[in-house]
Amino acid sequence: MLLKKTNISENDTVSKSGRYHNFKDFMYFPDLGRPDLCHPPAPPLPHPDIPFGTSIFDIIRTKDIMLHYPYQSFNHIIDLLREASIDPNVRAIKMTLYRVARFSNVINALINAARNGKEVVVFLELQARFDEEANIYWSEKLLEEGVKVIRTIPGMKVHSKLLLIRRKENNQNMYYAAIGTGNFNEQTSRIYADDSLLTANPKITAEVNKVFYLFETKYRPVDFKQLVVAPFAMRNYFLRLLNKEMKNAEAGKEAWAIIKLNSLSDPQSIDQLYKASQAGVKLKLIIRGICMLVPGIPGISDNIEVISIVDKFLEHSRVLVFCNTGKPTYFISSADWMIRNFDNRIEVACPIYDADIQQELRTMLGIQWSDNVKARAMSNDDINKYRKTGSVVSIRAQDEIYGFFEAKSLS
């Protein structure tokens, strides 16, 4: 009927119905035999602190590790899951899944763990946009294999990226966690730039356990002291950190923040950023997508600079650094600063305590802020022009960051 009413004939191009069509499909674009149109290969690098054939539990027990995709290999996560699935001392694996790969090694490892008698609990978000059908399929598959599947909380999306492993060591429960900015997905991890913290810090792992308790007890609120969890406290927590920077600036102390997000559209947060600028706080924002804040307005936002980097990898990580009177505090987060993330989703931001990882994040942010090839300076103009830094050297952040980690893997 629609074809007839709109005068579309058999000579017109009509897409097959019964499925979504969106930009995600371009990830599976076929090889057209034109290598000149492709970026040079950049194979994911091994993490220098995770030697091949070494127990990842032994490594995480001694120090925190942060993986940076797609520069470093997502296979470390799969190896951790595979090790957990066959380790007789592992008692339980809990995980949140938002989007999974078509042929998921993550799912296979969880199924193997269940078959080996581990308690496996998965929160699988059925409302993941464009992935609803796939997630329903995986949900049914996991249930068939004896995995406990917790499905969508009504009126709330679970967007946090969490993995928790309980292992019996010396007759005590030892917990290992992975907390990330992006999905546990081996396909998107080759294209999305994300960060994932691997830790056995008991203060953090205990609170990751609390998040899963929240899922399993039908959304009963719990108290968090380490993790910052939406929709309970995330907006107010970061507004308080900005308020602290404002007070320091007004007192003549050093005051700044670096905030890297996909999108910035939450009115309260934008208002607080404007107030911070007016108080003298220096703000550097790296916002890849939607940004409703306008930088550089005299008297309102003249202490705010905003850039956007759009390149061969999708900038997807959320990283926040606050001056904190010269003792910077670092966070990675699953949440953008949007109303939906603060009020309608369960999101997790995690503090980063390890000094080496803090320095690594600061180096990456510094490289991104120096980008003068793919970075655009956001302004009140209709067109955000490529950013000029005054440097005679071309700096393409994603290439520079790959080189940074390549050098570390060889050292």
CB atoms within 10 A of CB 301: 21
Tell whether 330 and 393 lie within a shared domain: yes
Token reading at 297: 């307005």
Tell whether 75 and 103 lie within a shared domain: yes
Range 308-322 average pLDDT: 96
The band of 218, judged by pLDDT with boundaries at 50, 70 and 90, is: low
Percent of the chain residues topping a pLDDT of 90: 71
Residue 265 above 70 pLDDT?
yes
45: in domain? no
Residue 4 above 90 pLDDT?
no
CB atoms within 10 A of CB 248: 21
**SS3 for 108?**
helix
Report the number of distinct structural domains present in the chain. 2
Cβ–Cβ under 8 Å, residues 305 and 294: no
Strands (E) in 256-381, as ranges, are 256-261, 282-287, 304-309, 314-315, 318-322, 329-333, 345-352, 375-377
Token reading at 275: 């107030």
Tell whether 234 and 173 lie within a shared domain: no
Last residue of a domain, one of 193, 223, 253: 223
Residue 128 above 60 pLDDT?
no
Catalytic residues: 159
pLDDT value at residue 133: 65
Tell whether 250 and 388 lie within a shared domain: yes
Cα separation, 264 vs 291, whole angstroms: 5
pTM exceeds 0.85: yes
Token reading at 28: 């599976």
410 CB contacts (<8 Å, ≥6 apart)?
Answer: none
Cβ–Cβ under 8 Å, residues 262 and 287: yes
Token reading at 165: 């492993």
pLDDT value at residue 383: 77
Cα three-residue angle 320-285-308, rounded to 5 degrees = 120
The band of 316, judged by pLDDT with boundaries at 50, 70 and 90, is: very high
Cα separation, 78 vs 178, whole angstroms: 12
| Mean per-residue pLDDT over the chain, rounded | 91
Q: What are the distances in angstroms from CA 91 to CA 59, 159, 178?
A: 19, 25, 17
Q: pLDDT tens, 137-192?
A: 777 888 888 889 887 677 778 899 999 999 999 999 999 999 999 999 888 899 99
246 CB contacts (<8 Å, ≥6 apart)?
Answer: 255, 275, 276, 279, 280, 281
Cis check for the bond before 44: say yes or no (omega within 30 of 0). Answer: no
Tell whether 282 and 182 lie within a shared domain: no
Residue 130 above 70 pLDDT?
no
38: in domain? no
Last residue of a domain, one of 168, 202, 223: 223
80: in domain? yes
Last residue of a domain, one of 174, 207, 223: 223
Structural domain containing residue 73:
56-223
Question: Which CATH number goes with the domain that contains 262?
Answer: 3.30.870.10
Cα three-residue angle 236-239-242, rounded to 5 degrees = 155
Nearest CA among 73, 166, 151, 61 for reference residue 113? 166
Tell whether 209 and 96 lie within a shared domain: yes
pLDDT value at residue 314: 95
Cβ–Cβ under 8 Å, residues 323 and 299: no
pLDDT value at residue 219: 60
Nearest CA among 344, 343, 350, 334 for reference residue 160? 334
Token reading at 150: 């917790």
- Lowest model confidence (mean pLDDT) among 206-210, 310-314, 359-363, 386-390: 386-390
Tell whether 403 and 259 lie within a shared domain: yes
pLDDT value at residue 19: 56
Percent of the chain residues topping a pLDDT of 70: 92
306: in domain? yes
pLDDT value at residue 343: 95
Tell whether 305 and 184 lie within a shared domain: no
Range of 49-58, 92-101, 266-275 with top mean pLDDT? 266-275
Nearest CA among 311, 312, 315 for reference residue 285? 315
258: in domain? yes
